[in-house]
Structure 1
Amino acid sequence: MKEALKSIINLSQIANSKKLSDYLKNLSGHFAFILSTEKHTILIVDCVRSIPILFAKFQDTWVISDTGSDFVNTCNLSAKYLNQEQTKIFAMSGFTTGKDTIYKNINCLEAGSFVRLKNEKSADITFDSYYYINFQPWKVNPKYSDKEWLDSSKRVLENLIIRTIKNINNRQVLIPLSAGLDSRLLASGLRHFGYENVVCFSYGLRNNHEANAAREIAKKLNYPWYFIETTRKEFKNCRQKNYYQEYLEYADTFTAVPSEQDVVTISKLRSFDWVDSDAIIINGQSGDFITGGHVSNIFSCCPSKFSKKSPNNILISELVKKHYGLWPTLQNTKSLKLIKSKVIEEIKKHNAPEDSPQLTYALYELSEHYNRQTKYVIQGQRSYDFFGFDWRLPFWDTQMIQFWQSVPLPHKINQSLYKKTLYSLNWGGVWKDCDYPEWISPTWVKPIRLCTKLACSFLGKSIWHKIERRFFSYFMDILCIYSATSWWEIATSPRDHRNSISWLSKKYLKKHNLRFDGSLR
């Protein structure tokens, strides 16, 4: 990385941004650079903006940081500077779109981009922005046979694990292991290639199905496994502590709800004697998205059935259904029109094929990549940074991304190719003939929930799910994130919500003097 930095510094002296782009395109790993020359300051983030950078012009000077709290006092932020379009989008989704933040004139670097700022004392807030690498899931390879795709997928995963092993240099690897495909792939892949210095751990409510599956997987792989229990009371108490509030400040980038999934757990890791001082945390983000797990079956409909205008309508409908429903009551004609305008703007900016109905699914992946994934999901790494842990994101390896964005739709639906590959490789013997059942935790909820469901059966599935979210999701949340809010507030709320992030979003917006719907208080 030192040699890479020297090369970037040399290239930054040159006004030709194409040369810098060509160099960055071949740079692997996760990084962010801020380079200042006499005439310019250049800001660079990696292909998924794993380390965010924000910037704004204040009193003729550029203010640059990786956290929003640095702007609060420096730029005298107040309600009048809020970006009302983005706060409304944020209220629906938990993240902003494009380069915008919830504040006017505070911008963020988008994934795979760099920005050149002019170092001059003026009120000019213009800047030059470039994408050195683009996420382009419409550039598919239609020539491979099914066998060729399977063989290629195997090679990609094998090389992914080999590169990861080479990079971590025999340091201890901590894997947050669950019942899912991605963390299991990492653990089984490391075992298959003989990497011994691995410890798996799981967390949440006692006796949850994810932890139970993880224990069985780790046992088969002959890796040590530990369970770190979290209770609702503990989560609620920890959230009031200074360290937690400091984390929320640190993780606030004005672009997404700070991730709270594992803050309590990661805060404890240093106290365990089974954790090495130089341990690296490696999680499974975001293997499910990259391999097609978020592509709806509706996109597999024959394109000839689409009318000329319907692909965009289907695209917006699926995006809204999946990612803009934290509070269903906010989905109205005006808000949908706003979301559509932002999505179309993004499609045009990335020169995506908006007139090809058969590639509508790729536009869906494009929008999710540049917004939810690289803003909300990836910022889960911030808890590792805050507590001083090194980390890796193998699934966001550039070669992995490039391969999977070339995979045609039929192999992405239901992660078809990915699952075939995993079960064909069967690393560590934890894939074929391995059943990891799911159940509801805690146990006491099950009979009460079942009786309520039977009593409400005549109301229909949709009403039942609303009842379940209102009265039972709080207790069934194995990560205890709902505990940031009281059960009573959820149960008596005048409106339906989607999940625990709805309530975290509400708290976040309140902190920035906004109502739950993104309007000024």
Structure 2
Amino acid sequence: MIRQTPHINRWLVPLSGGHDSRIIVNTLYKLGIRNVVCYTYGTKGNEQSVLSKQVAEALGFEWHFVEYSEQKWDQLHREGVLDNYLHFAFNGVSTPHLQDIPAVYELIHQGVIKNGDVFVPGHSLDLLAGCWLESGDLIDMGKPGALQRATQKWVGIKEPEFVPLNAIEKVFNSADISPLHFQEYFNWQEFRAKFVVNSIRGYEFFGFESRLPYWDKELVDFWLAIAPQDKIGRKVLFDAEKKGILVHALTGIPYAGKTPEKSIVKTLLRRLLPERIKNIMLRISGYKVRMNEGLNQIYAMKAHTVKEMLEPLEDFPRHARPYLQKFIDRQPGQVNYNHLTAMYTVRKHMDLWKN
């Protein structure tokens, strides 16, 4: 990556409190590279940003924080920036990744990001190292079992008659791999390529290049050579961190992202309560999805309800309507932002096709 980019101005690293981006800045530092600018974003004082700052300061790298708010997202909507980006990044197949857009937009206007800078996000060490692998993925249940497990893990539609099983089977048939490896393949082919890695379109949208060092073939081949059972829970990666791949200045800084214990009562209520009752409770409480990055704010001022954002619902394919029905009476900030972005993007493109 370094050799292929000899005339770079600076490396821009979206630095979170997690493992992947930390290893990026750690490696740049160990290579003697100091023209590095780190940035992070989200709600003020969030855990990710606090740890990001500690890491950047420990290495002596420039660091910036962009606070997200409903008003900033609304401004990008009103200026047409988000709709233009959705069109740019969708291409009829991908879910646009909005997470970085306000930060990059603001840092460009502040003069922090300059011509010749190149972005280096930490995608997708978590996948390669085994973060998404579960013991159930390593049980060879044949093709039917592999398709069923992929459906359970990745499809939000629960009504059997509307599950896109034929589309998932088409992915399987084109893969030419063992059912034992299908879960990782499906993650790579569908989630990584069409959402996570598609996030670099956000940098391209503003005219900048990016690099994905974790997708270097030599590194991918290394992880493929490790037995899947040894990667569950990212065991190899975490052992390497403990054994010294991090510079001394970073060894005492904790990581973000430990999942809090879920309330048994809340879990049962989510499973047992009818959607209509859940929607009424959400409207009364005003509860919003809480995220370090403030992504529940993206559409918060766009409309009062999801239905208002997406109507007329009759335009959506018949098999998608039961999925939409669960959310239409909720406020936008009460729905997973990735799901809402996918639905809103389809809505905007249906409007374009009409015209």
| Alpha-carbon contact 2:41-2:103 (below 8 Å) kept | yes
| Alpha-carbon contact 2:117-2:208 (below 8 Å) kept | yes
Q: How does 1:347-426 map to 2 (within 5 A)?
A: 347-354=172-179, 360=180, 362-426=181-245
| Alpha-carbon contact 1:177-1:202 (below 8 Å) kept | yes
Which runs of no fewer than 5 residues in structure 2 stay unpaired? 309-323, 328-333
| Alpha-carbon contact 1:203-1:479 (below 8 Å) kept | yes
Tell me the alpha carbon deviations over residues 110-161 of structure 1, each in whole angstroms, 9 at most, x when there is no partner.
Answer: xxxxxxxxxxxxxxxxxxxxxxxxxxxxxxxxxxxxxxxxxxxxxxxxxxxx
Alignment correspondent of 2:64: 226
| Alpha-carbon contact 1:203-1:265 (below 8 Å) kept | yes
Tell me the alpha carbon deviations over residues 189-229 of structure 1, each in whole angstroms, 9 at most, x when there is no partner.
Answer: 11112111111111111111100010011111111211111
Instruction: Tell me which amino acid in the other structure corresponds to 1:489.
Output: T
Moved more, 188-197 or 476-485: 476-485
Task: Name the SS for the 2:119 alignment partner.
Answer: strand
Q: How does 1:83-482 map to 2 (within 5 A)?
A: 164-169=1-6, 171-300=9-138, 303=139, 310-325=141-156, 330-336=157-163, 338-339=164-165, 341-354=166-179, 360=180, 362-429=181-248, 432-436=251-255, 459-463=265-269, 470=282, 474=288, 476-482=290-296
| Cα separation, partners in 2 of 1:475 and 1:351, compared to 1, 3 Å | closer
Task: Name the SS for the 1:264 alignment partner.
Answer: helix
Tell me the alpha carbon deviations over residues 443-490 of structure 1, each in whole angstroms, 9 at most, x when there is no partner.
Answer: xxxxxxxxxx9xxx7845242588699567735233333334348526
Instruction: Tell me which amino acid in the other structure corresponds to 1:269.
Output: L
Task: Name the SS for the 2:4 alignment partner.
Answer: helix
Instruction: Tell me which amino acid in the other structure corresponds to 1:353.
Output: S
* In structure 2, distance between residues paired with 1:439 and 1:489: 31
Task: Name the SS for the 2:64 alignment partner.
Answer: strand
Instruction: Tell me which amino acid in the other structure corresponds to 1:463.
Output: L
* In structure 2, distance between residues paired with 1:512 and 1:269: 29
| Cα separation, partners in 2 of 1:248 and 1:458, compared to 1, 3 Å | closer
Tell me the alpha carbon deviations over residues 297-318 of structure 1, each in whole angstroms, 9 at most, x when there is no partner.
Answer: 3235xx5xx6xxx444543343
| Alpha-carbon contact 1:205-1:480 (below 8 Å) kept | yes
Task: Name the SS for the 1:174 alignment partner.
Answer: strand
| Alpha-carbon contact 2:10-2:36 (below 8 Å) kept | yes
Residue 502 of structure 1: how far off its partner (Å)? 1.5
Task: Name the SS for the 1:476 alignment partner.
Answer: coil
Matched, 1:495 2:353: no
Tell me the alpha carbon deviations over residues 260-282 of structure 1, each in whole angstroms, 9 at most, x when there is no partner.
Answer: 11111111222334433211110
Identity of aligned residues (%): 19
RMSD after superposition? 3.2
Structure number, greater radius of gyration: 1
| Cα separation, partners in 2 of 1:400 and 1:383, compared to 1, 3 Å | same
TM score, norm. by length of structure 1: 0.55
Which runs of no fewer than 5 residues in structure 1 stay unpaired? 1-163, 355-359, 441-452, 515-519
Instruction: Tell me which amino acid in the other structure corresponds to 1:351.
Output: D
The structure in which a higher percent of residues are strand is 1
Aligned residue pair count: 318
TM score, norm. by length of structure 2: 0.79
Instruction: Tell me which amino acid in the other structure corresponds to 1:319.
Output: A
| Cα separation, partners in 2 of 1:431 and 1:311, compared to 1, 3 Å | farther
Instruction: Tell me which amino acid in the other structure corresponds to 1:501.
Output: N
Instruction: Tell me which amino acid in the other structure corresponds to 1:296.
Output: E
| Alpha-carbon contact 1:188-1:430 (below 8 Å) kept | no
Matched, 1:507 2:344: yes
* In structure 2, distance between residues paired with 1:436 and 1:371: 28
| Cα separation, partners in 2 of 1:434 and 1:491, compared to 1, 3 Å | farther
Alignment correspondent of 2:331: none
| Cα separation, partners in 2 of 1:473 and 1:426, compared to 1, 3 Å | farther
